[in-house]
Structure 1
Amino acid sequence: MNICVFCSAYSLDDRYSAPAAEFARLLGEGGHTLVWGGSNAGLMGLLADEVKAAGGKLVGIMVEMLKHKGYVGADELVMTADLAERKRELASRADAVVVLVGGLGTMDEVTEVLELKKHGMFEKPVVLLDTEGFYSGLRTQLERMDVEGFLPRPLADLVGFADTPAEVFELLKA
């Protein structure tokens, strides 16, 4: 499976990096391909290192202006002109999307995928790994949108929430 991962390009403390590393090991050991932002920085670089060490493949999709942060050793590294093209390319190559902890860029990526999915334009699984309750506020907001009629599809059809890396793969199989 080609698993697209949205996450931080910043180095984070162990409470966030350890679950990300465990997820990456499971991805690689499962023979899957990591499709990600292509960066060697922060959590993105950690993911790539762990996936590669566990035998998985790496497909990086980067914006040209960040090519100096490209992951050396990726099986494929694609350059795009801008962020919009990058997001389209990531989505088109994904069999599933997994969201780890991240900042504004991660939020931009996941909300775009959920909007596409809401309209039936992206029918692949989306799972958020809710490490340390990082996405509890987002989950609460999405649940409110669902209950109050702001979503044309049930929330469970749009996104799953996992508490552990192993649970991510259980949700992807379901």
Structure 2
Amino acid sequence: MGPSKRVCVYCGSSKGDNPAYAKQAKMLGQELASHNFGVVYGGGSVGLMNEIADGALSRGGEVQGVIPTLLDDKDHAHPLLTKRHITSTLHERKALMAELADAFITLPGGYGTLEELMEIITWAQHGLHDKPVILFNIDGYYNQLIEFIEQAMNEGFINANHEQSLRIADCIEDCFNFLPSNP
């Protein structure tokens, strides 16, 4: 029997310089699978994307990769995905990832990861979804972003009513505190 809930994980196609990022990504994948959550992610076989997939697969978890043609053509797709979705564009990729997911967790990453996070928060603000959006702040990676968001709230650019649009997690256990119940 497959998972009843799926978590979309946004993360880097690089591992970054801090070994904690890869370690925590793999552990998160393992824990999601152990708690019967499926993983939806960008489908890659490199960086933190590979770690989250390998972690979930190592515990028998379902892992769905959503990869646009421009990356699939370069053989970037993880070879052991439970299911691989191929989209025509990056926009279609993000829309399908959101559709397949019941929650979102963002790990360290670069421009693409930040863009995915900001878009899914914006969609929540506009009422396009009411799914949890979690920022997994491994080793303080996102401290400056969190400070910026607080400043934007203080300066009146982010409405205080949207403060709960983004949940901050400093450890895997915190991530699970914000995920929907999974029977």
Shorter-chain-normalised TM-score: which range? Answer: over 0.9
Stretches of structure 2 lacking an aligned partner (at least 5 in a row): none
Runs of 4+ in 1 over 3 A off after TM superposition: none
Shift of residue 11, structure 1, vs aligned partner: 2.8
Q: Which amino acid aligns with 2:40?
A: V
Q: CA deviation at 1:154?
A: 2.8
Partner-residue secondary structure (3-state), 1:69: coil
| TM-score, scaled to structure 1 | 0.94
Q: Deviations over 1:39-59 (max 9, x none)?
A: 111111111111011121011
Partner of 1:129: 136
Other-structure match for 1:10: 14
TM-score by length of 2: 0.90
- Please list every run of 5 or more consecutive structure 1 residues that lacks an aligned counterpart in the other structure: none
Q: Work out the number of aligned pairs and report it.
A: 174
- Counterpart of 2:161 in structure 1: which amino acid? P
Query: In the alignment, is residue 58 of structure 1 matched against residue 51 of structure 2?
Result: no
Matched position secondary structure for 1:120: coil
| Aligned with 1:138 (options 145, 152, 160) | 145
Q: Counterpart of 2:86?
A: 79
Structure 2 counterpart of 1:113, one-letter code: I
The alignment partner of 2:44 has SS state of coil
1:26 matched residue in structure 2: 31
1:77-101 deviation line (CA, Å, top 9, x unaligned)? 0011111111111111110000000
Indicate the residue corresponding to 2:179 in structure 1.
172
- Once the two structures are TM-superposed, the CA of residue 149 in structure 1 deviates from its matched residue by 2.3
CA contact (8 A) 1:31 1:55 kept: no
Contact kept? 2:22, 2:48, Cα under 8 Å: yes
Partner Cα distance (1:91, 1:153) in 2: 24
**Percentage identity across paired residues of the two chains:** 29
Shift of 1:157: 1.9
Determine if contact 1:4/1:98 at 8 Å carries over to the other structure: yes
- How big is the shift at 1:173? 4.3
